[in-house]
Amino acid sequence: MTPRGSREPLCRMYDVALLDLDGVVYRGEEPVPGAAEAIAAARAAGMRFAFVTNNAARTPAAVAARLAEVGVPAGADDVVTAAQAAATLLRTLVPAGARVLVTGGEGLRVATAEAGFAVVASADDAPAAVVQGYAPDLAYADLAETALAVRAGAVWVASNLDATIPTARGELPGNGALVALVAHATGRRPDASAGKPERALHDEAVRRSGAVRPLVVGDRLDTDIEGANRVGCDSLLVLTGVTDAAALLAAPPERRPTYVARDLGALLVPYPPDDGLDELRLDLR
């Protein structure tokens, strides 16, 4: 996609913003300045929001509580996690009610149970599937159970394949790194991944929000923007997270957003039309 202009504010052109969280609404523990105000103003103008995250460790209620802390009112129903999308994906791969080994946090356990599966914690329970997500307290024993079940032939679904998790101290190993560990040990690769840029999470967010004309909003080119492009959805890249202007200019076609802006305030104004792009570039310094 190439950047486009709009004559109307984006919050009127699109009915639902499928909003990424880290790097968009908050950065680690800190709120992104102006994000809560921009979301409130866009809501007042009629735009709805689904909060869409690759983080599978937290439950939707915990994510909603986090949003409230940074001044963004949200219910658990407004939050769509990669854990929920992974559970939906599992339903297409194994029979209803099957035993599923969950390697991950509370968010993944709850989503898997809510999808009607019998959550187990040991490969000895002969699970039909393994669902693997990041959690900060995962131990070797958890990964060992995962490897045993994968080696025994269980269907293997990853919540997401992010190599890293950005933190204030730097990039920490993400779920993709933990999946790679199990892949290295077993010689298999996951059968499916739910999170961005794969389409399962996007589909879940569109279905749950009832979006007719969604706009994906995020800070990462290789997850948010590439995911939007894969499903033909327009996207807005904000520069409040991991992507800077230099990385954006170097992006290959499949990772180019429809719109680019410094922050979520861009939802409230007409996007510069094509003849205004020079002005926009200067604005990005």
Residues that are catalytic: 20, 22
257 binds Mg ion (CB under 5 A): no
Do the beta carbons of residue 159 and residue 132 sit within 8 Å?
Answer: yes
Residue among 9, 22, 112, 134 that touches Mg ion (CB under 5 A): 22
Task: Provide the minimum distance between the beta carbon of 106 and Mg ion in the complex, in angstroms, as a whole number.
Answer: 21
Task: Provide the minimum distance between the beta carbon of 68 and Mg ion in the complex, in angstroms, as a whole number.
Answer: 19
* Residue nearer to Mg ion on the CB measure, 130 or 161: 161
Here's the x/- map for Mg ion, 198-227, by CB under 5 A: it reads as ---------------------x--------
CA distance 117 to 113: 5
Which residue is closest to Mg ion by CB? 23
- Tell me which stretch binds Mg ion (CB under 5 A): 19-27, 34-42, 69-77, 177-185: 19-27
Q: Binders of Mg ion: how many residues, by CB under 5 A? A: 4
162 binds Mg ion (CB under 5 A): no
* Residue nearer to Mg ion on the CB measure, 10 or 238: 238
Q: Which helix (H) or strand (E) holds 167?
A: strand 164-167
- Tell me which stretch binds Mg ion (CB under 5 A): 20-28, 36-44, 125-133, 209-217: 20-28
Residue among 17, 19, 23, 63 that touches Mg ion (CB under 5 A): 23
**CA dihedral sign, ordered 239, 245, 251, 257:** positive
- Tell me which stretch binds Mg ion (CB under 5 A): 11-19, 21-29, 77-85, 232-240: 21-29
Task: Provide the minimum distance between the beta carbon of 251 and Mg ion in the complex, in angstroms, as a whole number.
Answer: 16
Task: Provide the minimum distance between the beta carbon of 9 and Mg ion in the complex, in angstroms, as a whole number.
Answer: 23
Task: Provide the minimum distance between the beta carbon of 25 and Mg ion in the complex, in angstroms, as a whole number.
Answer: 9
197 binds Mg ion (CB under 5 A): no
**CA dihedral sign, ordered 263, 264, 268, 270:** positive
Strands 30-31 and 26-27: antiparallel
Nearest to 159 by CA among 137, 185, 135, 136: 135
Task: Provide the minimum distance between the beta carbon of 166 and Mg ion in the complex, in angstroms, as a whole number.
Answer: 8
Name the 3-class secondary structure at 52: strand
**CA dihedral sign, ordered 210, 214, 220, 226:** positive
Nearest to 134 by CA among 88, 168, 165: 165
Output the CA–CA distances (angstroms, integers) from residue 34 to 30, 106, 166, 262, in the order listed. 12, 31, 21, 11
Please name the residue that has the structure tokens 């035993």: 99
Burial 128-141 (b: 16+ CB within 10 A, else e): bbbbbbbbeebeee
**Residues of this chain that bind Mg ion (CB under 5 A):** 20, 22-23, 219
